[in-house]
């Protein structure tokens, strides 16, 4: 089951895929080191197949929902 994210929400990379695909009209495959583990980005759109377009500092890339988590939700330690 894929996670859902709101457009404009912040997400964090929790695992690196074997490669990343650019979110351009003509996508290109890039090595995974163009993004870093723990790097945060902003969701720009939803793509078919469970992919999300995410804007990072080094560009916009398509990532499957299994590689990202939302940072907009408060941590459970603050829910007292």
**CA dihedral angle for residue 37, residue 67, residue 69, residue 52, rounded to 10 degrees:** 120
CA–CA distances in Å: residue 44 to residues 5, 8, 59, 77: 10, 6, 12, 29
pLDDT at 56: 96
Q: Cβ neighbours of residue 18 under 8 Å, at least 6 residues apart?
A: 32
pTM: 0.82
Q: Which two tokens stand for residue 4?
A: 């859902």
Note the pLDDT tens digit of each residue in 36-57: 999 999 999 999 888 999 999 9
Cβ pair 28, 22 in contact under 8 A: yes
Q: Does domain 9-70 have CATH number 3.30.160?
A: no
* pLDDT attached to residue 50: 84
């Amino acid at each position: 089951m894929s996670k859902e994210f709101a457009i404009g929400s912040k997400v964090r990379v929790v695992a690196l895929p074997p490669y990343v695909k650019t979110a351009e009209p003509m996508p290109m495959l890039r090595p995974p080191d163009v993004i870093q583990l723990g790097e945060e980005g902003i969701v720009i759109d939803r793509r078919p197949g469970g992919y999300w377009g995410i804007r990072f500092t080094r560009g916009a890339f398509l990532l499957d929902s299994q590689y990202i988590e939302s940072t907009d939700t408060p941590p459970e330690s603050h829910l007292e």
